Amino acid sequence: MQGSYNIEQQTLAALARGERAATEQIYRDNYHIVSGWIVKHGGVAGDVTDLFQEAMVVLFGKAQDSEFKLTCSIGTYLFAICKHLWYKRLNKNDKSPEVLTDSLGTDDDRTGIAYEDDISVHIEREAHYEQLEFALDDLGEPCRSLLKAFYYQEKSMQEIAADFGYTNPDNAKTQKYKCLTRLKKIFYAKQG
């Protein structure tokens, strides 16, 4: 038991680092279990992909916290998150709200709330990123592309200097700081 727990924690740590092998393994091991359940509960293939990937992102987000320890297996966690997400979606569409109470009744109340919390944190985070995205759009070019190249595509200042036509990486860096300052203004102005 202890051994398999350690393996799961290692897989989780690899997932947190964004390692592909771990991600593939978790995907392969759990997708179909979730898929079967969602389809049984009125979902279609597209729903399954959306939900499962969202649950993976929730887990990825949780795993970023090095303090995070699983209280159940990765599979159980993903399955629970998917269930919650699916019921959330059903509620939103007002398809069959009564399903919620019925089937969630099987979860322990406290863990149920824990999953809800994880999902709320995830939704807040996504909204935050979306705000950031809007701010980047307002920033205009070349700042928008420059910051995206650095932070999203992880390009080096060397590459960015070449791509954006700066004479050297230091100039590109100076530009990046200017862009960040402007981004900060736009972002917090929106927030305020």
Burial of 171 (0-12, 13-18, 19+ CB in 10 A): middle
Taking a C-beta distance cutoff of 8 angstroms, is the pair 64, 46 a contact?
no
Q: How far is the CB of 75 from other proteins (least distance, A)?
A: 11
Of 90 and 149, CB closest to other proteins: 149
Query: CA 156, CA 112: separation in Å to the nearest integer?
Result: 43
Binding of other proteins by 145 (CB under 8 A): no
Binding of other proteins by 61 (CB under 8 A): yes
Query: CA 52, CA 67: separation in Å to the nearest integer?
Result: 24
Taking a C-beta distance cutoff of 8 angstroms, is the pair 63, 124 a contact?
no
- Amino acid at position 48, single letter: V
Of 89 and 155, CB closest to other proteins: 155
Of 7 and 127, CB closest to other proteins: 127
Binding of other proteins by 18 (CB under 8 A): yes
Largest CA distance in the chain: 64
Query: CA 60, CA 100: separation in Å to the nearest integer?
Result: 25
Binding of other proteins by 134 (CB under 8 A): no
- The number of helix segments (H) and strand segments (E) in the chain equals 9, 0
Of 10, 72, 113, 178, which lies in the binding site for other proteins, with binding defined by CB under 8 A?
A: 178
Contacts with other proteins by CB under 8 A: the residue count is: 42
**Applying CB under 8 A, which residues contact other proteins?**
18, 20, 23-24, 27-28, 31-37, 39-40, 45, 49, 53, 56-57, 60-61, 64, 125, 128-129, 132-133, 147, 151-154, 174, 177-178, 180-181, 183-184, 187-188
